[in-house]
Amino acid sequence: MLASASGICWKFLNQHNNLMKKAVDIIIVGAGHNGLVSAILLARAGLKVIVLEEKDTVGGAAKTEFPFTKVPTLGTSTGAYLLGIMSPELIRTLGVEFPLLRRDPHYFLPTTGKRYLLFGSDHDAMQNQFIFFF
């Protein structure tokens, strides 16, 4: 099975075609979180799985990057940063524990003027901002 593929992976697969046919049941292209979860579940089901990733690090859009040149040690995810849609059932099935941090404030919406929204755990402050802003 080939999950998705382009350029670099097709080259790798063509070069190692025979080896791949013997050694693996499933090839997953892309080590984003969907590829990694799929690989874990398939491997646990007894299949031989290989995950191919073109980047230096795994995690796809959910990995930590260091995009700010003026603060090079400030790591952040430039893609997924909220774990809201990861279902508890999947976390239980995987048997993993995540070191989660609650962001407070968790949401900042600037405008081109002086107005902005800054939401945190203070419900009343958030409601007042909504009323004032809109």
Ligand X SMILES: Cc1cc2nc3c(=O)[nH]c(=O)nc-3n(C[C@H](O)[C@H](O)[C@H](O)COP(=O)(O)OP(=O)(O)OC[C@H]3O[C@@H](n4cnc5c(N)ncnc54)[C@H](O)[C@@H]3O)c2cc1C
Ranges of beta strands (E only) in 23-62 are 26-29, 49-52
Q: Pairing state of beta strands 26-29 and 49-52?
A: parallel
Stretch that binds ligand X, among 6-14, 42-50, 111-119, 124-132 (CB under 6 A): 6-14
Could you say whether residue 8 binds ligand X (CB under 6 A)?
Answer: yes
Could you say whether residue 26 binds ligand X (CB under 6 A)?
Answer: no
Tokens 């002086």 belong to 114
Could you say whether residue 32 binds ligand X (CB under 6 A)?
Answer: yes
Strand partners, 118: 108
Report, in Å, the least distance between residue 114 CB and ligand X.
26
CB atoms within 10 A of CB 36: 19
Could you say whether residue 15 binds ligand X (CB under 6 A)?
Answer: no
Contact positions toward ligand X, by CB under 6 A? 5-9, 29-35, 52-55, 60-62, 79-82, 85
